[in-house]
Structure 1
């Protein structure tokens, strides 16, 4: 019974991806290939060795090596070139390290990519460096934005990661404090809704900045949360492409 419930949860989380696949007429074989690749990526990031992952897959280590090679392809540019920025930001929030200590916190990251990520975060004011050389989260709340495809994929990854964590905390562990999954369907005039969302974003930035400042003052800046917002038309007949 427990396994049935676990599979039911996985199935529901797969549905958005499968709807996107149906939208693009992706063959089932290609979907299965993406699932294998994605599962390998997740297990590898959890620290499992190639041999251990092979046992999970019930396949030979040779098959795992081919998947490992694909992780270094351009297909994963969003994770390797952009996602590292978020990983560095998280490491800074939790540890307040110096630049020299970052490689130990993120041993799988390329040193040049780490340096570039730190430089970008400092430029974007997401982090700042103290007189003692230690990095910390910036005192101002600044939104990282970009119209580039890889940056948008990274933003999607980040949003879905927050959704996954909320599902685990709320649906599996039944946590209720500082955790929320809420969906509201409304009727609204598009222009009025657009104006409301712009107002909401402005207020949200100010209020989140106050929360982060309070956490920093209380010495709890390492207590991180992910807040995700999504608004879309409820009409199932979405425009193609």
Structure 2
């Protein structure tokens, strides 16, 4: 697929402790837990590289330092990955801020535990890239019905995201609004870092709090995808392995 615009940089946040996924202290960190025949984080890395991303910054903490083993897992990762280790892990927003001097819009933000189909992922990005040069500040991936369900955290209206609540949208909505899943991929078209710094100065390290305020006060568009989900529990990991096996995607080539 030809892109009207080039998207060269992405950030993967991989600093979380992943306590629900880690069985023992000697187990691999959550990003490096095997799913099928490769580490979990490799799925999003391969999606990004397969979509033309040239530079991927992986933010990690000492508890996830085994992500550096990726450089020996695939030789071509050396050309794309740069690791940033944070000394203290206080929250997702602080982790995100580690790259503020390294990236400038447009760039992608992703999490380490995402599963999607490569063609579907590229189509999603192409939709997002069409927002470059418009009034949009941020484009967020949404999905109506992922294979593994999570909370409907986004309220949308005519292709725009108008509200976000981390634990699910509550209350009445109008007939032209829809509740949707998503939020695992963000395409930043305006710099979030000046506002982010004000949050961090108040010791608020939660990305969810930041987005809850950012979305109603900025123009945020949708980047719909057919199917995408994240893996937060051993049960979700087991279900994902079974889904990949049925779809012939054990090697990361997921067929939906």
Instruction: Mark yes or no: TM-score above 0.5.
Output: no
Structure showing the higher strand proportion among its residues: 2
Q: Which has the larger radius of gyration?
A: 1
- TM-score normalised by structure 2 residue count: 0.31
- TM-score normalised by structure 1 residue count: 0.32
More RCO (CA 8 Å, sep 6+): 2
